[in-house]
Amino acid sequence: MNFVVIGGDAAGMSAASRAKRTDPNLDVIVLEQTQDVSYSACGMPYNIADAGRPIDDLVVRKAEVFRQKQGIDLRTGHRAEAIDPSRRTVSGTGPGGSFVIAYDRLLIATGARPAMPDLPGIDSDGVVALKKLEDGRHIKGLLRGRNVERVVILGMGYIALEMAEALRSRGIAVSLVKPRPGLLPWMAPELSAVVGQELAANGVVRHDGRRPERIEARGDRLRMVGDGLDLSADMVLAAIGVAPNSEMAAAAGLDLGPGRAIAVDRGMQSSVPGIYAAGDCADAFHVVTGQRVYIPLALRANRAGWAAADNACGGSTELEGIAGTAVFKVFRLEVARTGLTVDEAAAAGFDPVSVVVTTSSRAHAHPGAGKIHVHLVGDRGSGRLLGAQMVGTEGAAHRINAAAVALHAKMTVAGFAQTDLSYAPPFGPVWDPLLTAANQLVKKL
């Protein structure tokens, strides 16, 4: 049986490796259009912060390892361009010209691409995005080859804020630009304000509520002009989100879901039998609402690749879904979320109630303690916990996992308030910040 995989990063190589372990006699062919496979894309901002560290340090496993040790027919430099479900073939172009490959089972793991704003001058030299390893190489090359003193970042999401820190650590002036007002629209205002203060304290200038109109190129220098904007830069980074690479799937007749991601069932099968999709090109089910969502994150990509491989090999693996759990670092702060915001909960038909508490990250009077801010959302009708957000100098990144587990278990806020969480003075107060917030939310509910 031929198991063909389109895409050689997280979901694709996880699936290929899993399938080969499950059935060593299986013919596994991976088509990857670049020369890079199996790398830590999430580590790129931190690598870029270190001028002396090669970007290839982020490669988890080289192509030759997959070929020689696992027997996977990994074909780099091969771009898949069309799928024919009736003939069960994939066609495209590679180093030797055009190709057509037959499949018995197919996995689409084409990932996502940076969303680029429709601005005059967006294709200017020095305007960059960060998604693929090659993007990281390009950015490090620009920083190395140019006298980059000022960077304008379009966007204020995860990548934008991580890159703001990376660039500031290299002594580069950073300005953030976003058309809509507010720093992080999904975050409770009290917590978002804390992040804003941290950015300001580290010299990052915000221009939210300012709509860019064009980018002008003058030699190696760029200028962003717009409503109340006139910013000069040596580099512009577009970090306004991603879009799934689903066009080839749509052309083959596969159904699309939210955000035009490929719609899959809980076993990663698409609307066409025998074709699976996983990773940043595919949708998922939200464990709180049960509805389809597009929230591309690394753990889901790897887990979905495993599930797709299991099912392509005749298994019956199903994934419950995702809670949208995410964490990122902004200078000294850990910023984390899971589940629904108040607005998302209301849109899903819940009657949301929320609280914000600020407490200590360690026991009273223990040295080194910092503030930790917790936002919890619950449903007035059922008492169910719906979401959580945390910001703090320590303790937020891993504490958010407790809330994520509670969401998967569909716990009530009252039930979560009774959980037996750990305590020791160096790590938290007797009443963990999550328990303090849960107790306050129980009162409001």
What are the residue numbers of the active site?
A: 42
DSSP string, 270-303: -SSTTEEE-STTB-EEBTTT--EE----HHHHHH
Which residues, 6+ apart, have CB-to-CB distance to 112 below 8 Å? Answer: 131, 242, 243, 244, 245, 280, 281, 296
The tokens for 207 are: 């221009």
For residue 286, the one-letter residue type is: H
Q: For residues 24 and 39, give the distance between their C-alpha atoms in angstroms, rounded to a whole number.
A: 24
DSSP one-letter string for 357-415: EEEESSSTT-TT--EEEEEEEEETTT-BEEEEEEEESSSHHHHHHHHHHHHHTT-BHHH
113 secondary structure, DSSP code? E
240 in Cβ contact with 249 (< 8 Å): no
Asked whether the beta carbons of 133 and 55 are under 8 A apart, the reply is: yes
Q: In whole angstroms, what is the distance from residue 112 CA to residue 232 CA?
A: 30
Task: Concatenate the DSSP letters of all residues of 28-96 into one string.
Answer: EEEEESSS--SB-GGGHHHHHH-TTS-GGGGBSS-HHHHHHHH--EEEET-EEEEEETTTTEEEEEETT
> What does the longest C-alpha to C-alpha distance in the chain come to?
70
Query: CB–CB of 284/293 below 8 Å?
Result: yes
Contact predicate 61/13, CB 8 Å: yes
